[in-house]
């Protein structure tokens, strides 16, 4: 579709006066349908990067959150008083598959969901983002990072977009079950990420949870290969040590090796990642150290809310709350290390 035709299409899809609350559903309006659980909007656009501008609020008091595609958090729940509206904007990466690269294809085009305690949408506009001006963050990772398809699971990469302003977009290529070995071997994974890198793009790499049988030399070589291939495309690699598992010792500290990602071969994944970052002069986000400090400070009971301990006896994967908290740690690191300009961060 030519740009002029697409601009005309999205201009025609602007909506006004559409509100909904869980207790009652408004009639469908333009590209959006209001139902008992919120408002869903679909835009039949080609893969690409799109700027979205929304007007939240309306005649009644409202609390509205926004997700895109496979449950990506674009805006946190925003409160508006009766008769007031606020305008917010963000940038969305649209691709196929829309979630995990080896998962379900999903729905073609752009899907947005307006949820929250009492969602209200008064206007929406979608336009192609100027390709040369978008600051892109591509994510390479496993199930603790990916766009998880269903609740209560969530990855920190799924929650990261809400911390970015319009003009910056997350392209989450993390995939459940992947190691450094499999991510390099499957053309749907690293090869696809590599092809999408433009000069100056950030590429965050967090892989370790599934490298249970990867020896140290191979793990080190795989991280180095990713760094070199990202740089060859003009990208900016950032190595991220893995989030901890919630496994405690009797004294309230986290268990090593289980919690701190030392595998059965004795490979200390966080330590090797730190060493590769230092040797290759790559920025490092030490998420292992940050999550260890947080989990231990919360203790055995308080830290349960971060993981799926109660829901699924799972001390590795994060809840939506935990993913939000860990995404904030990544956001803070992007800010303090000046990896993104302040204008891109919320």
201 and 316 assigned to the same domain: yes
pLDDT reading at 5 higher than 70: no
pLDDT exceeding 70 applies to what percent of the chain? 91
138 and 187 assigned to the same domain: yes
pLDDT reading at 289 higher than 60: yes
185 and 334 assigned to the same domain: yes
Q: 140 vs 173, 192, 259, CA distance in Å?
A: 6, 11, 21
User: Which one is predicted more confidently, 25 or 314?
Assistant: 314
260 and 220 assigned to the same domain: yes
User: Residue 118 sits in which domain range?
Assistant: 3-128
Identify the weakest region by mean pLDDT among 37-46, 143-152, 227-236: 37-46
Average pLDDT in the 219-225 region? Answer: 98
Alpha-carbon distance of 215 to 344, in angstroms, equals 38
Bridge-based pairing state of the strands 202-206 and 135-141: parallel
pLDDT reading at 93 higher than 70: yes
Residue pLDDT, tens place only, 196-205: 999 999 999 9
pLDDT reading at 156 higher than 80: yes
Average pLDDT in the 229-234 region? Answer: 98
CATH number of the domain within which 298 lies: 3.40.50.1110
32, 113 Cβ separation under 8 angstroms: no
pLDDT reading at 17 higher than 70: no
90 and 152 assigned to the same domain: no
From the list 237, 212, 214, the residue with the least C-alpha distance to 224 is: 237
For residue 199, the model assigns a pLDDT of 95
Average pLDDT in the 235-259 region? Answer: 96
pLDDT reading at 24 higher than 90: no
pLDDT reading at 44 higher than 90: yes
Alpha-carbon distance of 340 to 344, in angstroms, equals 7
pLDDT reading at 342 higher than 70: yes
269 and 329 assigned to the same domain: yes
95 and 177 assigned to the same domain: no
Q: Read off the tokens for 268.
A: 């200390």
For residue 302, the model assigns a pLDDT of 97
For residue 229, the model assigns a pLDDT of 98
pLDDT reading at 18 higher than 70: no
212 and 99 assigned to the same domain: no
pLDDT reading at 4 higher than 60: no
pLDDT exceeding 90 applies to what percent of the chain? 88
Average pLDDT in the 303-322 region? Answer: 97
Answer with the one of 95, 128, 161 that is the final residue of a domain.
128
Answer with the one of 69, 103, 128 that is the final residue of a domain.
128
320 and 337 assigned to the same domain: yes
DSSP annotation of 17: S
107, 98 Cβ separation under 8 angstroms: yes
Residue 30: pLDDT band (50, 70, 90) is low
Average pLDDT in the 231-257 region? Answer: 97
H or E segment to which residue 227 belongs: helix 216-232
116 and 139 assigned to the same domain: no
For residue 11, the model assigns a pLDDT of 35
The position carrying tokens 């408002």 is 39
Residue 21: pLDDT band (50, 70, 90) is very low
DSSP code per residue over 63-110: EEEEEETTTEEEEEEEEE-TT-EEEEEEEEEE-SSSSSTTS----SSE
Average pLDDT in the 56-64 region? Answer: 96
CATH number of the domain within which 74 lies: 2.60.120
pLDDT reading at 25 higher than 60: no
**How many independent structural domains does the chain possess?**
2
168 and 70 assigned to the same domain: no
Answer with the one of 128, 158, 174 that is the final residue of a domain.
128
Q: Read off the tokens for 290.
A: 């940050």
Look over the chain and give the mean of its residue pLDDT values, rounded to a whole number: 91
Give strand pairing partners of 34.
39
206 and 318 assigned to the same domain: yes
pLDDT reading at 305 higher than 50: yes
276, 228 Cβ separation under 8 angstroms: no
The position carrying tokens 């330590």 is 271
């Amino acid at each position: 579709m030519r740009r002029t035709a697409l601009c005309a299409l999205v201009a025609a899809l602007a909506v006004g006066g559409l509100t909904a609350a869980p207790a009652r559903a408004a009639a469908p309006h333009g590209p959006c349908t209001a139902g008992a659980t919120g408002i869903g909007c679909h835009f039949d656009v080609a893969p690409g990067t799109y700027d979205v501008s929304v007007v939240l609020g309306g005649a009644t008091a409202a609390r509205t959150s926004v997700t895109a595609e496979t449950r990506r958090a674009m805006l946190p729940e925003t409160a508006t008083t009766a008769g007031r509206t606020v305008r917010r904007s963000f940038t969305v990466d649209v691709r196929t598959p829309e979630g995990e690269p080896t998962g379900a294809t999903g729905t073609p085009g752009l899907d947005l969901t307006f949820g929250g305690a009492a969602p209200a949408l008064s206007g929406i506009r979608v336009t192609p983002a100027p390709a040369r001006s978008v600051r892109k963050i591509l994510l390479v990772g496993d199930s603790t990072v990916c766009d998880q398809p269903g609740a209560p699971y969530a990855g920190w990469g799924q929650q990261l977009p809400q911390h970015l302003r319009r003009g910056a977009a997350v392209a989450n290529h993390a995939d459940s079950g992947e190691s450094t070995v499999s991510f390099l071997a499957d053309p749907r994974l690293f090869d696809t990420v590599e092809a999408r890198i433009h000069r100056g793009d950030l590429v965050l790499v967090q892989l370790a949870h599934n490298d249970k049988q990867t020896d140290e030399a191979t793990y080190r070589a795989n991280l180095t290969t990713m760094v070199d291939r990202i740089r060859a495309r003009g990208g900016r690699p950032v190595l991220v040590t893995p989030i901890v598992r919630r496994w405690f010792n009797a004294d309230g500290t986290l268990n090593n090796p289980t919690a701190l990602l030392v595998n059965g071969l004795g490979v200390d994944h966080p330590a090797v990642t730190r060493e590769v970052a230092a040797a290759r002069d790559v920025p490092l986000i030490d998420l292992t150290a940050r999550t260890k400090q947080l989990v231990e400070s919360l203790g055995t009971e308080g830290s349960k809310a971060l993981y799926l301990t109660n829901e699924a006896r799972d001390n590795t994967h994060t809840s939506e709350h935990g993913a939000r908290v860990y995404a904030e740690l990544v956001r803070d690191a992007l800010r303090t290390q000046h990896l993104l300009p302040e204008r891109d961060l919320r």
